[in-house]
Amino acid sequence: MKIVQAKNYQDMSSIACQIILEKIKSAPSLTLGLATGSTPKGLYDCLAADYKENRTSYKNIHTANLDEYIGLPKEDKNSYHTFMNENLFKHIDIPLSQTYIPNGLAADLTEECRRYDRQIKMLGGIDLQVLGIGQNGHIGFNEPGTPFSSRTHVVDLDKSTIEANSRFFSSIEEVPNQAITMGIASILDSREILLLASGKSKAEAVYHLLNGKPDEKFPASALQLHPQVTIVADAEALQKV
Ligand code: PGA
C-alpha cells in the first residue's frame, strides 16, 4: 500500500483530485468507482472547480457508486443519488445515463444486487475505486464480519454507522437501517483503489488498516490483499501510525 501524507482535509482533497485528473487525462473513457460521505466531498468540489476552469471532460467516463440506502427515493435529500448529483454530477459534463448507483427502492433487492454486479461487469470493471473508511473499518457499507468473498448485497447497518450518519438526518429514527453495497470482492476487483481518510476520528481505523492482518472483523484490512492501493490521509488521520 502506498501512503501519501496530506497536511489537512483540503490538502488530502486536492492530492486525490490531482490523481484522478491525471487518470482521466491519460484514459478519458475510464470507469470510476465513487463513494459518498464527508470524506470525498472536498475531492468532488475540486473536480467541479477544475471543470469550471479547465473543462476536463467526463463525456466518456462511466461511474459506479459503492452503495445506496434502502427505502429512500432517489430524490430524497439524503439519498446517495442526490448526494452525487448535488456534489459532483451536476457540476461536470458527465451524461447521467453513464452514472450507476444501486436502486434502494427495487421491488426485488436480491435481483437488484445481481443486476448491479452485471452492470459493473458490462462496464468492463472499475478502473479506479475511491473509498472512505468508517471508524469501525467499514468500506462501502461492508460492516465488520462481511465475508471478503462478498459481491453486491443487502446489509443491516451497524448501530455505530447509523449514529455516525444521523448527522445528515433530522433525527436518528429517520436513518435507514439497511443499504445495498458493493461487496468486498467487488471492491477488490477494481484495478486500482484510492482510499481517503481525514481527521482524528479515523486515526484508529487507519492504524488498523496499516498494521493489522487481513481479517473479516475489520473490512478495510482486505485492501492488504490488493496490489494497487494508494491511501491519501491527513496528519490527524495518521497520528497513531
Ligand atoms: P465519512 O464516511 O466520509 O462521512 O466519514 C466514511 C465511511 O463511512 O465510509
pLDDT(188) > 90: yes
Read off the pLDDT of residues 83-139 as tens digits, 9 standing for 90 and up. 999 999 999 999 999 999 999 999 999 999 999 999 999 999 999 999 999 999 999
CA distance 69 to 59: 27
Angle at 151 between CA 24 and CA 128, to 5 degrees: 10
Q: Give 44 Cα–ligand 1 centroid separation in angstroms.
A: 14
Q: Give 8 Cα–ligand 1 centroid separation in angstroms.
A: 16
Instruction: Report which protein residue has its CA nearest ligand 1's atom 8.
Output: 134
CA distance 94 to 62: 8
Q: Does residue 219 line the site of ligand 1, with CB under 6 A?
A: no
CA distance 133 to 238: 13
Ligand 1 nearest atom to the CA of residue 35, by list position: 9
pLDDT(180) > 90: yes
pTM: 0.97
Q: Give 193 Cα–ligand 1 centroid separation in angstroms.
A: 16
Cβ atoms of 234 and 13 closer than 8 Å: no
Percent of the chain with pLDDT over 90: 98
CA distance 241 to 235: 10
Read off the pLDDT of residues 11-59 as tens digits, 9 standing for 90 and up. 999 999 999 999 999 999 999 999 999 999 999 999 999 999 999 999 9
Cβ atoms of 205 and 137 closer than 8 Å: yes
How is domain 1-236 classified at the CATH fold level?
A: Rossmann fold (3.40.50)
Looking only at the bridges linking them, the beta strands covering 229-234 and 178-181 are: unpaired
Cβ atoms of 223 and 193 closer than 8 Å: yes
Q: Does residue 13 line the site of ligand 1, with CB under 6 A?
A: no
pLDDT(6) > 90: yes
CA distance 162 to 172: 7
3-class secondary structure, 34: strand
The beta strand positions in 40-136, using DSSP E, are: 62-65, 67-69, 99-100, 128-131
Residue 215 burial by Cβ neighbours in a 10 Å radius (0-12, 13-18, 19+): middle
Residue 178: per-residue pLDDT = 97
CA distance 200 to 180: 28
Q: Does residue 165 line the site of ligand 1, with CB under 6 A?
A: no
Each domain of the chain, given as residue ranges in start order, spans 1-236
Q: Does residue 137 line the site of ligand 1, with CB under 6 A?
A: no
Read off the pLDDT of residues 196-237 as tens digits, 9 standing for 90 and up. 999 999 999 999 999 989 999 999 999 999 999 999 999 999
The beta strand positions in 18-163, using DSSP E, are: 31-34, 62-65, 67-69, 99-100, 128-131, 153-156
Enumerate the H helices of 123-233 as residue ranges. Answer: 159-165, 184-188, 203-211
Residue 151: per-residue pLDDT = 98
* Closest of 146, 143, 123 to residue 133, by C-alpha: 143
Ligand 1 nearest atom to the CA of residue 139, by list position: 9
Cβ atoms of 182 and 152 closer than 8 Å: yes
Ligand 1 nearest atom to the CA of residue 37, by list position: 4
Q: Does residue 134 line the site of ligand 1, with CB under 6 A?
A: yes
Cβ atoms of 27 and 141 closer than 8 Å: no
Enzyme catalytic residues? 67, 136, 138, 143
Confidence class of residue 158 from pLDDT cuts 50, 70 and 90? confident
Residue 138: per-residue pLDDT = 95
Q: Give 231 Cα–ligand 1 centroid separation in angstroms.
A: 14
Read off the pLDDT of residues 66-95 as tens digits, 9 standing for 90 and up. 999 999 999 999 999 999 999 999 999 999
